[in-house]
């Protein structure tokens, strides 16, 4: 089966096409990525240019993969998004929990409520509370006096999703799934154990940084902030009065988040902005890193504040996984450990995907994750089996629907 994903970010647009058989058998046929100057903070600056850019990108991806696309999975940024946790419950009298009880709870909840000015990009069950005991799979068959289902929903601006959708549909492409970009990044970078045990995945992108949190194999939080690795580049350019391309080069080649005794003695020659094209000055590596560290620290603290604002800091999140281009900065793992007090690793797309070495980099996690989205993240054990027997009782449509969300 041919699957394709499209990631339209604030700094780049990427398309991936793969021959997909199952989670253990994925053959990437093409990945194409180009810079994007037509979106800023989720606002499209030029529709026609964006349309033409995406069209050229898709044509090139199709050419490389020798395929013709009819539909895609679409990654969308969570910048300016809203997270909403809610629950619904019913009282029982030591009754055995059935499918009908679950259906009743879901129907009376906010699950089907939509806000007209916002677009619901994610809505899922996170856990079940049975007589104050927490379950993460449907507890059908248990006896209970009370059952509560906890949900998590993400809204993004409807104007943003409508605008992007109109560009895609103009290309005669159907959109199979709208995917929160942070979720997409985590799908291709987190291991099964990390999703189960509790992990924060941080994608340090060019102009935005995104956050996703997994716990008990559930996606329980996603968000983004409007600060990325390009802010570091701009800080260097301003602080050292050099041009942006030189600042990017300095960040990549010499930037480090952990000090070394030799930093004060390592001299770097850089061009400076002046009337003379041949003007250079010398700086120490320590002075460069003194510019880099405050911005990274600010970014990480903003992310940690998001975690705290949603009461996720009280959970057992013992791991942090870094992805995105900013994750390739020297010694970033050690620096993040000091802020999050957790084990930290930098992740590239998972080894099982058999990627070409050119794509085994943190900045490809978001686009690779787009073709993994429709895998069953939230496994149903006996509920899926019971759905076969309940067909005779007329509830097959309910189970078909419920299977997607539990």
Q: What number is the average pLDDT over the span 146-154?
A: 93
The reported pLDDT for the residue numbered 229 is 93
Q: Give tens-digit pLDDT for 383-406.
A: 344 444 444 344 444 444 454 444
Higher pLDDT among residues 353 and 335, named by residue = 335
> What's the pLDDT band for 110 if we cut at 50, 70, 90?
confident
> What's the pLDDT band for 215 if we cut at 50, 70, 90?
very high
Nearest CA-CA partner of 323 in 183, 153, 204? 204
The reported pLDDT for the residue numbered 391 is 40
> What's the pLDDT band for 352 if we cut at 50, 70, 90?
low
Q: What number is the average pLDDT over the span 164-175?
A: 94
How many Å apart are CA 300 and CA 293, to the nearest integer?
11
**What DSSP character marks residue 256?**
B
Q: What is the pTM (predicted TM-score) of this model?
A: 0.88
> What's the pLDDT band for 170 if we cut at 50, 70, 90?
very high
Nearest CA-CA partner of 167 in 27, 247, 279, 53? 53
Give me the percent of the chain exceeding a pLDDT of 90: 61
E-strand ranges in 242-325 read 267-271, 280-284, 319-323
The reported pLDDT for the residue numbered 234 is 96
Higher pLDDT among residues 278 and 29, named by residue = 29
The reported pLDDT for the residue numbered 376 is 57
> What's the pLDDT band for 299 if we cut at 50, 70, 90?
very high
Contact present, 103 and 405 (Cβ < 8 Å)? no
Tokens for 378?
A: 């939230």
> How deeply is 12 buried, as exposed, middle or buried, from its count of CB atoms within 10 A (0-12, 13-18, 19+)?
buried
The reported pLDDT for the residue numbered 137 is 83
235 to each of 224, 244, 294, how far by Cα in Å? Answer: 21, 9, 10
The reported pLDDT for the residue numbered 377 is 53
Give residue for tokens 């979106």.
39
The reported pLDDT for the residue numbered 374 is 67
Distance of CA 12 to the CA centre of its chain: 15
Contact present, 210 and 78 (Cβ < 8 Å)? yes
Q: What number is the average pLDDT over the span 205-227?
A: 94
Nearest CA-CA partner of 112 in 60, 144, 153, 82? 153
Q: What number is the average pLDDT over the span 117-137?
A: 89
Q: Is the pLDDT of residue 68 over 90?
A: yes
The mean predicted confidence, pLDDT, of the chain is 86
Q: Is the pLDDT of residue 88 over 80?
A: yes
> What's the pLDDT band for 260 if we cut at 50, 70, 90?
confident
Q: What does the domain layout of the chain look like in residue ranges?
A: 235-289
Alpha-carbon dihedral sign for residues 22, 353, 373, 67:
negative
The topology (CATH level 3) of 235-289 is: Actin; Chain A, domain 4 (3.90.640)
Q: What share of the chain is helix, strand, coil (3-state, %, to 5)?
A: 40, 35, 30
Give residue for tokens 């013992």.
318
The reported pLDDT for the residue numbered 406 is 44
Contact present, 215 and 198 (Cβ < 8 Å)? yes
How many Å apart are CA 396 and CA 374, to the nearest integer?
21
């Amino acid at each position: 089966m041919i699957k394709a994903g499209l990631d339209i970010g604030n700094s780049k647009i990427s398309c991936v096409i793969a021959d997909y058989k199952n989670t253990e058998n994925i053959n990437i046929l093409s990945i194409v990525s180009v810079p994007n100057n037509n979106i800023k903070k989720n606002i499209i600056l030029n529709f026609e240019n964006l349309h033409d850019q995406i069209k050229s990108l898709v044509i090139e991806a199709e050419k490389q993969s020798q395929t013709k696309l009819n539909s895609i999975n679409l990654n969308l940024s969570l910048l300016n998004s809203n997270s909403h946790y809610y629950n619904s419950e019913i009282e029982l009298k030591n009754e055995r929990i059935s499918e009908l009880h679950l259906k009743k709870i879901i129907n009376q909840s906010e699950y089907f409520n939509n806000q007209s000015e916002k677009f619901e990009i994610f809505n899922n069950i996170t856990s079940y509370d049975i007589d104050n005991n927490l379950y993460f799979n449907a507890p059908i068959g248990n006896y209970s006096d009370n059952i509560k289902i906890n949900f998590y929903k993400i809204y993004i601006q409807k104007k943003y999703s409508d605008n992007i959708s109109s560009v895609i549909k103009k290309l005669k492409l159907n959109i199979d799934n709208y995917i929160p970009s942070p979720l997409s990044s985590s799908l291709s970078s987190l291991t099964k154990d990390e999703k189960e045990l509790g992990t924060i995945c941080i994608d340090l992108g060019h102009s935005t940084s995104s956050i996703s949190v997994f716990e008990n194999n559930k996606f329980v939080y996603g968000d983004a902030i409007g600060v990325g690795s390009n802010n570091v580049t701009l800080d260097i350019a301003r602080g050292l009065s050099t041009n942006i391309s030189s600042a990017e080069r300095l960040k990549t080649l010499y930037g480090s988040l952990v000090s070394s005794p030799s930093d004060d003695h390592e001299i770097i020659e850089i061009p400076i902005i002046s009337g003379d094209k041949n003007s250079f000055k010398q700086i120490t590596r320590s002075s460069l890193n003194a510019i880099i560290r405050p911005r990274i620290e600010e970014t990480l603290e903003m992310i940690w504040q998001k975690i705290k604002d949603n009461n996720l800091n009280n959970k057992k999140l013992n791991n942090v996984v870094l992805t995105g281009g900013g994750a390739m900065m020297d010694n970033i793992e050690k620096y993040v450990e000091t802020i999050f007090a957790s084990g930290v690793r930098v992740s590239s797309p998972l080894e099982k995907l058999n990627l070409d070495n050119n794509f085994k980099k943190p900045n490809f996690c978001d686009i690779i994750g787009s073709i993994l989205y429709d895998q069953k993240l939230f496994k149903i054990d006996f509920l899926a089996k019971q759905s076969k027997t309940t067909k005779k009782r007329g509830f097959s449509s309910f189970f078909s629907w419920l299977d997607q969300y539990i």
